[in-house]
Structure 1
Amino acid sequence: MKSIESYFDPFPILETERTLLRPITYADLDDMYRYCAIPAVSEYTTWDAHQSKEDTKVFIDFVMSRYEVDKLGPWGIEDKQTKKLIGSCNYLGCDSNSMRVELGYVLSNEYWGQGIMTEAVSRVIQFGFEDIGLERIQAKCLVGNIGSAKVMEKTGMKFEGLLRSYMKIKNEMQDLNLYAIIRSDYDFK
């Protein structure tokens, strides 16, 4: 059985109607900083808003090391029209034995409410089930993150429960909602 990571060598480029999902590069630093510096964008994430471009560079350094060492790193979400990086989406916590991944994602606030993240996540789910052969794709969000929960629901994920006092985020224990889609729920086209 192939590992999940083996499907990322070479890194898969995915496309949707409005976006290109591709590796993040240092050329994306300004675009990434633009949205990562907005407090509203990081409100429901594990990280704080970037205070400087150096914060963004440190994150891109981390991403580049993931591409090199694990082969598995985030897809940068590029707006096809403007060619700008507007967010990212990635598989976290991969378990090749159980063929399970967790999704994480973030999107520039300038693109909220337009269905962009639903489009990108749908494509990443499709890749997971149709190309890799995953059995389960799950995602978690803070209870108050209604936008993220809507993305999960619109992409076919089902609410599986509340994870009480699950994770310390920004110095406070937080409850998280757990969503998932399993292979038998997925609509192969």
Structure 2
Amino acid sequence: MTVRFPDEFPLLQTERLVLRKATETDAQALFLLRSDPLVNTYLKRSPPASVQEVVAFIEGVNASFAHKKGIYWIITMKTTGSVIGAACLFDFSRASDNCEVGFELLPRYQGYGFMKEALWSMLQLVFQTLCIQAINASVHRANHSSLTLLQKAGFRPAEAPGPMPEQLLLLRLEQTSTSV
């Protein structure tokens, strides 16, 4: 089966959250998220130098969607519209019908099940709409919160197709192993 990448940006809603397309008005909130030292603990990236750098990042992720290469959501609270995090699907492989998932959440919103809601919503899109057969996640071995979340969603350790940094684990969720 072939990946059915959407023509229109997929707006996702859960009981408490809205996952939507990033806009330039999100630049300040996204700057705070991507600059947070706790958020960046397990990510191999430098914090943005300026809000303008984040505007360029937003333009890049939106161009990635337009070229059917990735989907990047801003996660907001449904009741207030406050930005609390971000999530993405990327590295789509039409040859093997899989992609990779990534997510980040401001520390003050961690531990309340928000990312679980967001991830479940994304998994429904992946398996039911995009017709993806498997979804991968590369996670730092010390990132116990993300590992636990992914394992609860049904992700299991997998063999990396190539060299991978020793501190990372590859987890995989096959369409047949999800309860979504």
Fold shared per TM-score above 0.5 = yes
In percent, how many aligned pairs have the same letter?
Answer: 26
- Maintained 8 Å contact 1:4/1:96: no
Amino acid corresponding to residue 186 of structure 1 in structure 2 = T
List gaps (5 residues or longer) in structure 2. Answer: none
Amino acid corresponding to residue 184 of structure 1 in structure 2 = T
CA distance in 2, matches of 1:111, 1:180: 25
CA distance in 1, matches of 2:161, 2:149: 19
How many angstroms does 1:122 deviate by? Answer: 1.1
Query: Among residues 92, 102, 105, which one is paired with 1:104 in the alignment?
Result: 102
**Does 1:186 pair with 2:147?**
no
Q: Which residue of 2 aligns with 1:40?
A: 38
- Maintained 8 Å contact 2:3/2:132: no
Q: Which residue of 2 aligns with 1:170?
A: none
Instruction: Give deviations 1:146-183, integer Å, cap 9, x for gaps.
Output: 1111121121212336899724xxxxxx4211111111
How many angstroms does 1:71 deviate by? Answer: 6.4
Q: Which residue of 1 aligns with 2:73?
A: 75
Q: Name the structure, 1 or 2, with higher relative contact order (CA <8 Å, separation 6+).
A: 2
More strand by share: 1
CA distance in 2, matches of 1:61, 1:45: 21
CA distance in 1, matches of 2:29, 2:48: 12
Q: Which residue of 2 aligns with 1:177?
A: 169
**TM-score, normalising length from structure 1?**
0.85
CA distance in 1, matches of 2:112, 2:85: 13
CA distance in 1, matches of 2:20, 2:139: 24
How many angstroms does 1:3 deviate by? Answer: 3.8
Amino acid corresponding to residue 175 of structure 1 in structure 2 = Q
Q: Which residue of 2 aligns with 1:30?
A: 28
How many angstroms does 1:55 deviate by? Answer: 2.7
List gaps (5 residues or longer) in structure 1. Answer: 168-173
Amino acid corresponding to residue 103 of structure 1 in structure 2 = V
Q: Which residue of 1 aligns with 2:139?
A: 141
Structure-2 change in CA distance of 1:4 and 1:96 (3 Å): farther
Amino acid corresponding to residue 154 of structure 2 in structure 1 = G
Structure-2 change in CA distance of 1:108 and 1:157 (3 Å): same
- Maintained 8 Å contact 1:162/1:176: no
CA distance in 2, matches of 1:155, 1:12: 21
| Aligned-residue CA RMSD (Å) | 2.2
Q: In the comparison of the two structures, how many residue pairs are matched?
A: 180
